[in-house]
Amino acid sequence: MTALPSFAAEIAALLSERGAGIADVPILQPANPFLDMAGEDLRRRIFLTESETGETLCLRPEFTIPVCRDHIASQAGTPRRYGYIGEVFRQRRDGPSEFFQAGIEDLGERDTAVADARSVADAHALLSRVLPDTPLTVTLGDQTLFEAVLAALGLPRGWRMRLARAFGSKPLLEAALADLADPPRNGALPAPVALLALDGDAEALAAHVAEGMEQAGLPATAGRTPADIARRLIEKAQLRSIRLSGEAFAALKGFLAIEAPLADAAASLEAFAADAGLLLGPALETFSRRAEALAGHGLAVETIRYDAAFGRPLDYYTGLVFEIGVAGAGRPLVGGGRYDRLLTLLGARTSIPGVGFSVWLDRIAAVREGAR
């Protein structure tokens, strides 16, 4: 087991000052929440094992999901802030597979802009404390804005879901946009299935799939359910049947090309929406209020960069995404974002919004060592 770096005490002090009590979550975790929700990049790096009863377990690869599961199990009230400092375990190409992370998960604050700004400010303050006099770069993205543009362009649910899943992965997004510009031809589906999928008749298609599974001797509980299969087939049919107009496709590409200092970003987005004839409504209002709230924390918004195509490779993010690093460095020191649907997916009885960040302690140590 590796040892905590000496500056971990400074991080613990900041977490306490920010009202984030230290969460204690087990190293051994059920694997399914990570396999279902964490994103492909993390899923393929997880260390898996099995319990005596056959349950699939994993070594803790990150803290957000375990902290949220623990919050739900404890039935704690909200709003509540959780801090953490501890080991995570991932297969990595650029360092040991056992390393330390710290961070804050902010659960239950209903004012999205306020909570988002506080999360970025907390992360920035943490780095400023352990890396004094080191210039930091902040990059923001916003999945809510991206999805608002997709909806305003009139894309059907299947396309919106595929593009939203690709957000944050340049190769996946480029592949999705290529298919949107030139949709693939229909696959060789049996005629009855193809017709039901094109008609969007989910109930009839699920019944047809269930009948086929029964004839093949497959239980309905094996893998995906007939309803899941029917929904996916309908989504694929939609993907193949839609061709975005040249004007709408150009608008989507134009949005993804927007990069600006945060101080200018709202004006750039408003100009884009006006030129494209799109209404971005609450998503743009929240964006503007978040920028104002960040300025209220004393962060110079002209030094924060907004990149419309920027995302992070975790499937549970729903709004703000951000990274903080050192100018010229290849790897971020902090990554974070908003995950408003995660706690419901993990079993919370009511909707609990959340936002948080994680910091890589080994990367901070490398920067401190290089500064000596």
Q: Quick: pLDDT tens for 5-29.
A: 999 999 999 999 999 999 999 999 9
Are 113 and 62 part of one and the same domain?
yes
Omega before residue 226 within 30° of 0, cis: no
Burial of 169 from C-beta contacts in 10 A (0-12 / 13-18 / 19+):
middle
Q: Are residues 206 and 289 in the same domain?
A: no
In a domain, 301, yes or no: yes
The reply to whether 91 falls in a domain is yes
Q: Looking at the domain assignment, is residue 20 inside a domain?
A: yes
The answer to whether residue 173 sits within a structural domain is no
193 vs 23: which has the higher pLDDT: 23
User: Is the predicted pLDDT of residue 223 greater than 70, yes or no?
Assistant: no
Name the pLDDT band for 188 (thresholds 50, 70, 90).
low
Please state, in angstroms and rounded to a whole number, the distance separating the CA atoms of residues 305 and 154: 28
Judge whether residue 142 has pLDDT over 60.
Answer: yes
Q: What is the pLDDT of residue 346?
A: 95
* Per-residue pLDDT reduced to its tens digit, 51-79: 889 899 999 999 999 999 999 999 989 99
Indicate whether 207 and 315 sit together in one domain. no
What confidence score (pLDDT) does residue 234 get? Answer: 66
CA triple 45-49-53, angle to 5 deg: 150
Residue 329 has pLDDT above 80, yes or no: no
Q: Are residues 110 and 201 in the same domain?
A: no
Q: Is 132 domain-assigned?
A: yes
The reply to whether 303 and 338 lie within a common domain is: yes
Residues 78 and 86: their CA atoms lie apart, in Å, by: 24
The answer to whether residue 203 is domain-embedded is yes
Give per-residue pLDDT as tens, 291-310: 999 999 998 877 899 999 99
Do 266 and 359 belong to one domain?
A: yes
Radius of gyration of the chain from its Cα atoms, rounded to whole angstroms = 22
- The answer on 264 and 128 residing in a single domain is yes
Domain of residue 200 covers 191-241
**Residue 46 lies inside a defined structural domain of this protein:** yes
Q: Which of 312, 299, 318 is nearest to 261 (CA)?
A: 299
On whether residue 183 sits in a domain, the answer given is no
Spatial contact of 227 and 151, defined as CB atoms under 8 Å apart: no
Residues 221 and 81 in one domain: no
Mean pLDDT value across residues 167-179: 84
305 in the same domain as 273: yes
- At position 96, the amino acid (one-letter code) is P
**Total number of domains constituting the chain:** 2
Q: Do residue 19 and residue 95 come from a single domain?
A: yes
Q: Which of 30, 100, 93 is nearest to 65 (CA)?
A: 30
Between the alpha carbon of residue 46 and those of residues 9, 66, 77, 319, the distances in Å are: 28, 14, 31, 25
* 234, 269: one domain: no
Whether residue 222 is predicted with pLDDT greater than 50 in this model: the reply is no
Is residue 27 located within the same domain as residue 140? yes
Task: List the CATH number of the domain containing 28.
Answer: 3.30.930.10
pTM of the model: 0.84
165 vs 260, higher pLDDT = 260
| pLDDT band at residue 184 under the 50/70/90 scheme | low
